[in-house]
Amino acid sequence: MPKWGFYMQKMFVEGGHLLNGKVRISGAKNSAVALLPAAILADSSVTIEGLPQISDVFTLGDLLEEIGGSVSWDGQTVNIDPANMVAMPLPNGKVKKLRASYYFMGAMLGKFNKAVIGLPGGCFLGPRPIDQHIKGFEALGAEVTNEQGAIYLRAKELIGARIYLDVVSVGATINIMLAAVKAKGKTIIENAAKEPEIIDVATLLTNMGAKIKGVGTDVIRIEGVSHLSGCRHTIIPDRIEAGTYAIAAAAMGKEVVIDNVIPTHLESLLAKLREMGLPIEESNESLLIRPKDLLKSVDIKTLVYPGFPTDLQQPFTSLLTKANNTGVVTDTIYSARLKHIDELRRMNASIKVEGGSAIVTGPVKLQGAKVNATDLRAGASLIIAGLMAEGITEITGLDHIDRGYENITEKLTNLGAKIWRDEMTEQEVQELQNS
């Protein structure tokens, strides 16, 4: 089993070096974290290829083992044998490390008609309720209670139902799909989310024998089956990782090829980069980015897919510091996803927050500073800012970054960035914990 462990490290980025060359994008984190729990539903081995080597994936692998799964890794391929899995309660421990542990609710309910799962952790982006997941489970016939911070789900049997989501939610759409594929009869999810990761999970489930129609539209129809078998599946590339490198290339690229991308998954970002004056060439599986000198500012508003992704809002804010004029960033999905702003200000960014929007005025020459990544995409935004800044930027909070970006130090080094990690001293760790 591969391991990770950079928690007590800090990262240094020496700004001013142009990025040049090719970067290969890894498998999609937000697919991976649902594909792994989905394997619980099978009766025989599921093999998933192309998984990103990130801590969220390893944590989920450990959780599958905790419930009796046999999990074996061969590089980026994992084999999960669910034969000895049991409905082991997971009220505490690793479930709290990440958001996506909530997929154990849908998958275990679907398989065993019961589950006990601690309320999930993950990035703090303001309130992140799971009421729509629970509404779906209840509609399928489960009794759901919250007992001391753990969600208890119990059903005599699951019966298909018509479920209208009051909020378009990636997690609720996937979780209800997981619970419904083995329910008796027909389930209809209305106002479903349409993200590519949902299609990826439905593809795996369909290969296992599930009957699902309409994924990628806002009405998903599921005909329950009694049995799902193992299969082999290759994950889609990570559109958010690809978007992060596209933004880094826009900020500091000479000529950057981003390989293993599905460009249609990134249309909203590419449209905005083009609006800024950036030439981008697209082919089937790659993007070529050759920035011009001066970029124009644009406004962005995050929306559900295919709108501008909230997960790219923070990296994009860093890019706007370099653009000419004022750009307004509004996150309609997570209005409190603004913790990177204070850190960017330490680096000399000119950003005002008004009415929940960040107003970024550029161009400004960023200056290296000591900053802390408070969440995953804030981490990406600080790395991009560090690449643009004068001098050295020191970034802590790498545990967040390592949850979602595979080998980011190595990938950027290969593109010509000056970026490295070092151990934190005990005093620095203490100071960070107390801050």
Residue 285 DSSP symbol: S
Contact between 34 and 199 (Cβ < 8 Å):
no
Joined tokens for residue 392: 């050295």
- Known catalytic membership, residue 123: yes
Restricting to residues 262-301, name those near ligand EPU by CB under 6 A. Answer: none
- Smaller CB distance to ligand EPU: residue 130 or 364? 130
DSSP lists the bridge partners of residue 372 as 396
Out of 100, 161, 215, 261, the only residue in the binding site for ligand EPU (CB under 6 A) is 100
List Cα–Cα distances, 111 to 30, 40, 41, 129, 367, in angstroms. 22, 7, 5, 24, 53
Q: Which stretch binds ligand EPU (CB under 6 A): 43-51, 129-137, 144-152, 254-262?
A: 129-137
Judge whether 45 and 79 are in contact, CB under 8 Å: yes
Size, binding site for ligand EPU by CB under 6 A:
25
- Does 104 engage in binding with ligand EPU (CB under 6 A)? no
Alpha helices in 237-373 (DSSP H): 239-252, 267-275, 313-320, 340-346
- Rounded distance, CA 311 to CA 405, Å? 12
Which residue among 83, 131, 281, 352 contacts ligand EPU (CB under 6 A)?
131
Cβ atoms of 33 and 57 within 8 Å: the answer is yes
C-beta closer to ligand EPU: residue 103 or 152: 103
Nearer to ligand EPU, 297 or 310 (CB): 310
133 or 272: CB nearest ligand EPU: 133
Answer whether the bond into residue 363 is a cis peptide, omega within 30°.
yes
By the rule CB under 6 A, 410 interacts with ligand EPU? no
Q: Which stretch binds ligand EPU (CB under 6 A): 5-13, 130-138, 141-149, 215-223?
A: 130-138
Give me the helix-helix angle, 131-139 and 103-112, nearest 10°: 10
Tell me how far CA of residue 115 lies from CA of 145, 179, 358, 401, 420, in angstroms: 11, 11, 41, 30, 42
* Active-site residue identified among 123, 198, 258, 388: 123
Q: Which residue number, 152 or 334, has a Cβ lying nearer to ligand EPU?
A: 334
Q: Is 129 in the site for ligand EPU (CB under 6 A)?
A: yes
Q: Using CB under 6 A, which residues numbered 299 to 318 contact ligand EPU? A: 310-311
How many C-beta atoms lie closer than 10 Å to residue 198's C-beta?
A: 23
Binding piece for ligand EPU, criterion CB under 6 A, among 12-20, 167-175, 177-185, 343-351:
167-175
Q: Pick from 55, 76, 113, 132 the residue near ligand EPU by CB under 6 A.
A: 132
Contact residues: ligand EPU, CB under 6 A: 30, 33, 99-100, 123, 128-133, 167, 169-172, 193, 240, 310-311, 333-334, 376-377, 404
Task: Write out the catalytic residue numbers.
Answer: 123
